Structure 1
Amino acid sequence: MQVTDPRERSGDLYVSESSAPLPPDDFAEAAESEAVTAGWVVTAFAFDDDGRVLLIEQPWADGWICPGGALKPDESLAEGATRELREETGVNIDPIAPRGVDEFSFVNEETGETIGWTLVVFEAVAESAELGDDLGLDGEEITDARWFDGLPDDVYNPDLFEPVYERCENSR
């Protein structure tokens, strides 16, 4: 996979590192996940013509989150963000630019070993505000998708997504 790290091109990115401890059995399961295997995950704040932002709700997330997922082989970051938003919400987007990067890792509670991925958050413009009939692909549990006038109070991982959202807002 040939990915151009946005940190090499843009000086206006919010850059962070985050981690989560896992017990050994959960760590072994996470090591085989699509995100860890790919090494790159993309999401996007998609804005409609009215300036609203599209977010989804998933049972594992503690709050609303940007649609996104693991990069496929031979996909650029922008292509991955476009595909993921279309798969999860039915909305086609035009990615504008990366606005945030997070180095995420799981830490094995027993051994200290780490695994993870690089998360890239894009700013994007939605071609239409119409949501698709089916949220996500088979096996993905997306319980809701909505357009918001701003970030809701219960946004997932606010330490990352609030400053990245602000960068998107400031660029508009």
Structure 2
Amino acid sequence: MQVTDPRERTDDLYVGESRATVPPEDFEEVADSEAVTAGWVVTAFTFDDRGRVLLIEQPWADGWICPGGALKPGESLADGATRELREETGVDIDPIAPRGVDEFAFVNEETDETAGWTLVVFEAVAESAELEADLGLDGEEITDARWFDGLPDDVYNPDLFEPVYERCEHSG
């Protein structure tokens, strides 16, 4: 299945561009990552029947973040978001629609070479609010998962995730 870029069919998305400059020794590692190889990363603001949003905590992120990850070959964006939420939290979701797209690139600080992916952020509804005791797959380091009444102050990458969250809040 070929991925359909949501920007081609939806005109009310938040669209952003994020860059992170890294030293050459780190650039080689990130350029070979699963996300860069896949070219697409999916995540979702998932809401339960009480209107709470599900977020996770990972050591690399400076704050709470939506569960998500790299798209697998042959997956649609919605199927990838559904799989990632299940793998990371045990929560089954119904993806409603994409609400944001971000072109993310790592930049080699010496050569200006770039490597990155397209991130698609969905709004989704949880089938149940029950979280798995064991978070993530083997080798994934997820230290916590919680339901929040609103977006916490220490959300990861607020320049991206705050406006996308607002689109989710105002979509109904």
Tell me the equivalent position of 2:47.
47
Q: Which residue of 1 aligns with 2:22?
A: 22
Match of 2:125 in 1: 125
Cα deviation, residue 134, structure 1: 1.0
Cross-structure match for 2:99: 99
What secondary structure sits across from 2:4 in the alignment?
coil
Alignment of 1:1-172 (within 5 A): 2-172=2-172
One-letter code of the match for 1:166?
A: E
CA RMSD of aligned residues (A): 0.6
TM-fit CA distance, 1:12: 0.7
Q: Gaps spanning 5+ residues in structure 2: where?
A: none
Instruction: Report how many aligned residue pairs link the two structures.
Output: 172
State percent identity of aligned pairs.
Answer: 87
Render the CA deviation track for 1:22-69: whole Å, top value 9, x for unaligned.
100100000110000000000000000000000000000000000000
Shift of 1:2: 1.1
Instruction: State how far apart, in whole Å, the 2-side matches of 1:145 and 1:132 are.
Output: 9
Look up the SS of the partner of 1:146 in the other structure: strand
Long gaps (5+) in structure 1: none
Cα distance, 1:133 vs structure 2: 1.6
CA distance in 2, matches of 1:31, 1:75: 22
Structure 1 runs (4+) greater than 4 angstroms displaced: none
Query: Structure 1 length as normaliser, TM-score?
Result: 0.99
Partner SS state of residue 64, structure 1: coil
2:170 aligned counterpart, secondary structure: helix
CA distance in 2, matches of 1:31, 1:103: 15
Distance 1:2 1:29 in 2: 27
- The CA deviation at 1:18 is 0.6
* Secondary structure in 1 matching 2:50: coil
Q: What CA distance in whole angstroms lies between the structure 2 residues aligned with 1:130 and 1:136?
A: 15
* SS of corresponding position for 1:84: helix
CA distance in 2, matches of 1:29, 1:115: 10
Q: Deviations over 1:123-147 (max 9, x none)?
A: 0000000001210001100000000
Counterpart CA distance in 1 for 2:138 and 2:45 is 23
Provide the TM-score with structure 2 as the length reference: 0.99
